Amino acid sequence: MSTAAVADTRPYHHGDLRRALVDAAIRILEREGPSALSLRAVAREAGVSPAAPYHHFKDKGELLEAVAHVGWEALGDGMSAVQDGVTELSSLMTEIGVAYVRFSQDHPALYRVMYDTARDKDSLPEGMQDKEDGAYCLVRNTFRDAAGPDVPAVDIELATIAAWCAAHGLAEMSGFAQFNPLKEAFGGDAGFLRAVLSHLGMFQSKRGDPT
C-alpha cells in the first residue's frame, strides 16, 4: 500500500504535465482515432487522475486547441520543407498543396481535430495570418513574392484564400471512394492530387478574367 512504487516512476508533481497531456492526446489520436480521444483517456495515457488536466486546461476544448496548435506547426513545417527544391511558381504552389494534402492523409485524426477546433471558433488559429512563420503566411508570401509589386494586396489575399480552400477541400475528400477511379486514371494518388490542384489553378496570382 506504499506510494513508493508509484513515486518511483511518476513523482506526485509531474514536471511538465501540460506538455505530457498534449503528447498523450496526439499519441491516442494517431493510435485509435478521434472518437477515442476523451479527456479521461488522455489522463490515463499520461498516468494521471481524470481531474489532473483541469489544472492545465480550462476544459477539453482547450486541450484540443493545444493539440491543434501542435498540428498546425507540423503542417507548416511540412509545407515549407518543399520550398527548397522548387523554383517555378506553378510547380511550387502545386507542391505546397500536395504537401498540405499529404499531411492530412498521414495524420487524418490530427487534421480533423485541427479543423474541428477551427470550426468551433470560426477561425484558423489566431496569428496564422499575421505572424510571418505560419502556414497561411507561407502561402501568401509565396504568392506575393511571385506576383510583384504591381499586384494589389487584395488579389494576393484572394489567391491565398482560394488556394487554401482548394487544398482543404481536397484534403478532406481525397480519401473518398468516389475518387478511386480517377486516381487510377491519373497514375495514383500523387498524380491525382497534382491534376486537381493544377486544374483549380492554385498558381494563379491574379483574379480570373470575366468570361
Partner DNA sequence: GTCCGATCTGGACAGTGCTTAGATACAAAC
Partner DNA sequence: GTTTGTATCTAAGCACTGTCCAGATCGGAC
25: amino acid identity, one letter: A
Closest approach of its own copies to the CB of residue 26, in Å: 19
Q: Check binding of 41 to DNA (CB under 7 A).
A: yes
Q: Check binding of 172 to its own copies (CB under 8 A).
A: yes
DSSP-assigned letter for residue 1: -
Q: Check binding of 170 to DNA (CB under 7 A).
A: no
Q: Check binding of 32 to DNA (CB under 7 A).
A: no
DSSP H or E run through 59: none
DSSP-assigned letter for residue 205: -
Which residue's CB is nearer to DNA, number 7 or number 182?
Answer: 7
Residue given cell 508533481 in the structure block: 13
Residue 56: contacted member of DNA, its own copies, none (CB under 5 to 8 Å, by partner type) = DNA
Residue 66: contacted member of DNA, its own copies, none (CB under 5 to 8 Å, by partner type) = none
Residue 83: contacted member of its own copies, DNA, none (CB under 5 to 8 Å, by partner type) = none
Rg (CA), the chain: 21
Closest approach of its own copies to the CB of residue 20, in Å: 27
Enter the C-alpha cell of residue 128: 496564422
Q: Check binding of 11 to DNA (CB under 7 A).
A: yes
- Cα 196 vs. chain centroid, distance in angstroms? 20
Closest CA to 100 of 169, 198, 156: 169
Taking the C-alpha atoms of residue 46 and residue 42, their distance in angstroms, rounded to an integer, is 6
- The binding track of 65-104 with respect to its own copies, each residue x by CB under 8 A or -, is -----------------------x-x--------------
Enter the C-alpha cell of residue 104: 492530412
Q: Check binding of 52 to DNA (CB under 7 A).
A: yes
CA atoms within 13 A on the CB side of 81: 11
Enter the C-alpha cell of residue 151: 499586384
φ/ψ of 59, rounded to 5, equals -160, -175
Residue 1: contacted member of DNA, its own copies, none (CB under 5 to 8 Å, by partner type) = none
DSSP H or E run through 201: none
- The one among 31, 51, 161, 182 contacting DNA by CB under 7 A: 51
State the residues that interact with its own copies by CB under 8 A: 88, 90, 112, 115, 118-119, 122-124, 128-129, 136, 154, 157-159, 161-162, 164-170, 172-173, 175-179, 181-182, 185-186, 195-196, 198-201, 203-204, 207-208, 210-211
